[in-house]
Structures are given as structure tokens and as C-alpha cells.
Structure 1
Amino acid sequence: MPAEDLRLDTTGRVPNNVLPVRIYRAALKDRTPEQIEAHLAARDWTNSWRNGIYPFHHYHSSAHEVLVIARGQVTVILGGEGGVQCTVGEGDVLLLPAGTGHRNGGGSSDLLVIGAYAGGREWNTCRPEQTDPDEARQRIARVPLWTHEPAE
């Protein structure tokens, strides 16, 4: 199944990215967290973690991020305040280009998300109310593209 592409506004306090958010539905369904991490690592998405998604709007200006829903479901708000609401569940993969605003808009109690970064880059957490968007856009422009799609 092909990825869904979402283009977000790049003119506000949340920089977002000219590259689209990509959503791969059920691409990694019925896999253990260890299998998901191994799959991502084989595609050069490393520096992984397991947890949830912050309940506040934020973005990363130093790395492209992938989020895999290993268990449960969640509504992710993409793009910043008033952004696109996207409900994702087990096995869904979200590729968030650097600068993409996101936050947890509510999820199941069993939610487990596995995150990783293209090329294993170090990530930062930027909040729109605390970060200069023009400086963030300059950092985002220097982030190299990923070498492999995370779910193909």
C-alpha cells in the first residue's frame, strides 16, 4: 500500500517542512518492538526510543523522525496549533521531516510508540512558544535527507 502524503503550512511559528509527512498504514503490523527497531535500523533509522508522544506541540529542527505505533492507537496533531488531526494505530508508520510539528491529541492506555532518527542524528525538542522559527528554519535546511524510506 502506498504512503499517504500530507503537506503542512510552512509559514507559521511551527516551521514544518516543504517535504510532506508520510504515513504508511499497517506497514509494520504484528511485529514486536525488537523487530520494529531492527527493521528501522536496517534502513538507517537509529538512535531509537520507546515511549509515547509528548502532549504538547513540538518539533525537531536537527533531525528527521520516524514514529511507529507498536501498540494501541493515538490521534496525532500535525503542523502545530489547529493542525491536521491524524488517527494512527498498530503498525502505522509516520515519517516526520525535520520541523514537523506534532503532539499527542489523545490515545489509548496501551499506547507504545517507537521513534528513531534518519542516520541516527541527535534530535532537539523545540516548542513553538520558546523557539525562534527563523533560526529553526536555518537548522532544518541543513539536515541531510534520509537514505531509505522507513517502511518500504
Structure 2
Amino acid sequence: MEPLGQDEIRASFVNCTRGEAKGVTLPAPPSEIPWDRREFLGWRDPKAPARAYLVLPYGGEVIGLALRAAAPPKSRLRSNICGFCTTTHGLADITLFSARRAGKAGREGNTLGTYACGNLACSQYVRGELKPDVPQPYESLTVEERAGRLEEKLHKFVARVLESR
């Protein structure tokens, strides 16, 4: 991913107001983010843990999505799989994130959800920089192929959020 500045990150959000985007707490100073090892920038707001954000290159522009994190489920499932990077996690480490759709549909309250790594560190899991707490199924894909799959799944999610824009 190409490096972005604070203003570029804030201007990228397509499913929230300018005021909401201006109030986003960034994960770190942009100069400290290892952009060359990220397919997207994803983070939970440390001041409001139910808020999360995705920023990624999409269709020649940078798209940012504001997300809401659901409360942890009360389920008998022991694990689940991230919808972006396909990493298996214990149930406590997977979160249902919902994104308000862009445009009129979003203003009418329409949302789209997906289960993803609770810390949104998919790029790091794909590269083996972080290890999940549960055993992973064997996978013969290379790091580049897993990163490509991650980008493809992210782009499909963004496309669905943007459908009504």
C-alpha cells in the first residue's frame, strides 16, 4: 500500500459524515506505519472500541470505511474464520463488523456486515508477523497468494458497500 497522510486518510471515508471523519482517532502517526507490508490500514478506535476503520486502495482511489464492532457473541462455537484473511481464531478474537452503506442507502440505515479479525491485523496474519492462538489448517499458498486473496476479499466487501453510491 502506498503511504498516506492524515488528511488523505480522513478524506477517504465514504460512509460517514465529514465531521465524523474529522473526529477519527488514527492508529499511529502515518510515518510509523509499515505501508509496504499492508494491503489495507485497519484499526479499532482506542477511545471507542466499538468503532473500527478500514482504508485501502480501490479502483484507483483510496476508500475508507467506518465500521461498528458488535458485542462478542454468546455462542457455543469455539472458533471462527476471518472473512478477509481466512485466519482461524478463537471466538473471542473474531468480531462482527458492520459498515453503513455509502450514499442514500446508508443514510436510510442499510448496513453490510462481515466477520473479521477483531484487531483488523489481517495483513500481519497473512505474512506470519502475528500468530493466532489456535492451530491453523495447512495451506499451500505463498504469502503473495494469501495477500492477493486478502485484497480480493476486501475489494468485494468495499464493492458491496459502494453499490448504492
TM-score range, shorter chain: under 0.3
Which protein is richer in strand relative to its size?
1
User: Of the two structures, which has the highest relative contact order with CA contacts closer than 8 Å and spacing of 6 or more?
Assistant: 1
Q: Which has the higher helix share?
A: 2
